[in-house]
Amino acid sequence: MNNKKSNIMVNIVMLIIMLFCMMPIILLFVGSCMTDTTLLHCLGPLGEEKVSSYTSWIVFPIDISFKAYIKVLFDSPEYFVAFWNSMKIAISVTLGQVIVGMPAAWALAKYNFKGRKIVEFLYLIIMFLPFQTVMLPQYIILDKFGLLNTLIGIIVIDIFQSFPVFLMLGSFKNIPNSLVEAAQIDGANDFIVFTKIGIPLAVPGIISSMILNFLEYWNIVEQPMIFLKSKSLWTLSLFLPKIDLSNAKYAFGASVIMIIPCIALFREFSDELENGVASLGEK
């Protein structure tokens, strides 16, 4: 009986936490469905030079309008340009990081070479470096190669990041060495062992790396802000903040559409993401 009560309490607490976590998304969706009059009434004080009152919010608006989505989907070509710019960067960087990171992670996990621990430690240190410390070197490199104000410049710079290597490293380390040795005894070379044993058994770590990296670069802000000058190359993270209060509903609708790919990815690959992240703590 006590266990049942404890489970109920735990479920209630988890439900409350879940509601708090989902509150921004709920308010975002509600705001996108409000009429212009209702939304202006709620957010009106934000546009005043001298704030005389607080903003308010209506969780269940009486008047509902989907004009924001109609405008975004059918009357905003600049939004779609920013959308596909974000998609190009996120997909290209994600695939590039996996292609570059998988061999590096496999080598660190299964090859005993001199300085391996030092290389692994350097990967870890680089992963924690903030963007501000590498911003100037990256800017100089892109300028020297004529890649400033191009999507390719951002993609090339971000492909060689250490986080995906570190994340896939845990999955590769969990593959038994005896399995690798057995394949080598049977005549499999290093490439066959890597492609036929290493990659298939490390799929959770690889997928979790791809999902986390896609989410990171889907919402990337600093590098496009510094390296991109042309508005035709802006990503969604730069486009949305430029929408003013008079088009607030438009911003809400655009933001809801922006998070749909993230929600779809998480829903489809939640198990792989959980298993891949959990592998980091396994020995």
Q: What is the mean pLDDT of each run of 10 residues along the chain (283 residues)?
A: 75 89 85 78 60 66 82 84 92 94 91 87 85 88 92 92 86 88 88 91 88 90 89 86 70 86 85 71 54
Both tokens of 183, joined, read: 């394949």
Enumerate residues 6+ apart whose C-beta is below 8 A from 24.
Answer: none
Domain final residue, candidates 65, 88, 113:
65
Q: What is the DSSP letter of 47?
A: G
Count of other CB atoms within 10 angstroms of residue 46 = 10
Ramachandran class of 37: left when φ > 0, alpha when ψ lies in -120 to 50, beta otherwise = alpha
Domain final residue, candidates 38, 65, 92:
65
91 and 38 in one domain? no
173 and 37 in one domain? no
What residues are paired with 34 via a beta bridge? 64
122 and 42 in one domain? no
Per-residue confidence (pLDDT) for residue 204, from 0 to 100? 84
40 and 135 in one domain? no
8 and 103 in one domain? no
18 and 107 in one domain? no
Total structural domains in the chain?
2
Per-residue confidence (pLDDT) for residue 263, from 0 to 100? 87
Q: Does residue 153 contact residue 87 with C-beta atoms inside 8 Å?
A: no
3-class SS of residue 186: coil
Per-residue confidence (pLDDT) for residue 52, from 0 to 100? 55
112 and 60 in one domain? no
42 and 137 in one domain? no
Range of the domain at 25: 2-65
235 and 106 in one domain? yes
77 and 29 in one domain? no
Domain final residue, candidates 65, 88, 111:
65
Per-residue confidence (pLDDT) for residue 75, from 0 to 100? 82
